[in-house]
Amino acid sequence: MTRLLVIVNHIESQPGLLTQWMISENIEFDLRIGGVSRLPEPSALSGYDGLIMLGGGYMPDETDRAPWLKAEARLSRHALETDLPQFGICLGGQLIAHVIGGDVRAQTGAPEKGYTWIDMTEDAAQDPVFSSIGKRAAFVESHVDRIVDLPDEATLLATSTACRFQAFRIGNAWGTQFHPESTGENIRSWDAEKLQELGFNKDTLLEQAEERGEDSRRDAKALLTAFLDVVRSRQQ
């Protein structure tokens, strides 16, 4: 059976839709919570077929506030070195970028919240994961930090009006700034006043969730299934 290591970095960034999708795909997953669960040593990744790292309100090198990120970075680096498939979401994607020498900056550029239109690059059409969706899709965003540069060996797969680096690939590692695991239910829990401070209206974001949510869920499922196909192909 296919087995994944899934790392939760913040209580507000849970696996969401990923849980039911992994179960429906007969995937066994080991869920570890940063700061609560002990993360395995890099050598233990030989017992897994893939790695998924979720989001959180930290910078990837902010090990004073989130000390487990140091161990998580070691896991990501080992996965890169051994070609183990990994998928990083928001902070998870930023952590991959940090590990490969990219530039990740706090509170940089315009924030993104709610269902945001993401445009795929030409390279996405040839990518084993991102070729599973069309040229444009809406996904949930929730960030004020971002990747501002990647090394030349990384391939840019998706971008948005406010944030250039929405998705990238290096080897068998994929990182996204957006949240394919999230839905409008996540938006319902957001603080309206804090959203207003960032320039967003919660009612508007919920209306957009009604309009875009179903298609987004379909595209997000396609991305995960394509990633799992990469994981399974490596097992053969």
Catalytic residue among 72, 78, 90, 112: 90
Catalytic residue among 78, 98, 143, 179: 179
Predicted pLDDT of residue 235: 72
What range defines the domain where residue 143 resides?
A: 3-235
The total number of residues shown for the chain amounts to 236
- Sorted by sequence, the CB contacts under 8 Å of residue 43 that are 6+ apart come out as 78
DSSP state of 125: G
Whole-angstrom Cα distance, residue 206 to residue 89?
22
| 98-156 per-position pLDDT tens digit | 999 999 999 999 999 999 999 999 999 999 999 999 999 999 999 999 999 999 999 99
Percent share of the chain, pLDDT over 90: 97
| 67-91 per-position pLDDT tens digit | 999 999 999 999 999 999 999 999 9
Q: How many domains does the chain have?
A: 1
Whole-angstrom Cα distance, residue 102 to residue 14?
25
| CB atoms near residue 191 (< 10 Å) | 9
Closest by CA position to 136, among listed 147, 121, 155 = 121
Phi, psi of 187 (to 5 degrees): -65, -35
Rounded mean pLDDT of the chain?
A: 97
Query: What own/partner pairs with CB < 8 Å and gap ≥ 24 does 233-236 have?
Result: 234/49, 234/83, 234/84, 234/85, 234/172, 235/2, 235/49
Closest by CA position to 101, among listed 166, 158, 154 = 154
The string of DSSP letters for 156-222 reads: EEEE-SS-S-SEEEETTEEEESSBTT--HHHHHTS-HHHHHHTT--HHHHHHHHHHHHHHHHHHHHH
CATH number for position 67: 3.40.50.880
- Active site includes 181? yes
Mode of pairing for the β-strands spanning 3-8 and 50-53: parallel
Residues 206-210, mean pLDDT to the nearest whole number: 98
Catalytic residue among 72, 112, 141, 181: 181
Predicted pLDDT of residue 90: 98
Percent share of the chain, pLDDT over 70: 100
Given a cut of 80, is residue 14 above it in pLDDT? yes
Residue 12's pLDDT band, with cuts at 50, 70 and 90, is confident
Given a cut of 80, is residue 9 above it in pLDDT? yes
| pTM as predicted | 0.97
On whether the CB atoms of residues 55 and 90 are closer than 8 A, the answer is yes
Residues 18-47, mean pLDDT to the nearest whole number: 96
| CB atoms near residue 68 (< 10 Å) | 19
Closest by CA position to 113, among listed 190, 213, 217 = 190
Helix (H) or strand (E) holding 81: helix 68-82
Residue 234's pLDDT band, with cuts at 50, 70 and 90, is confident
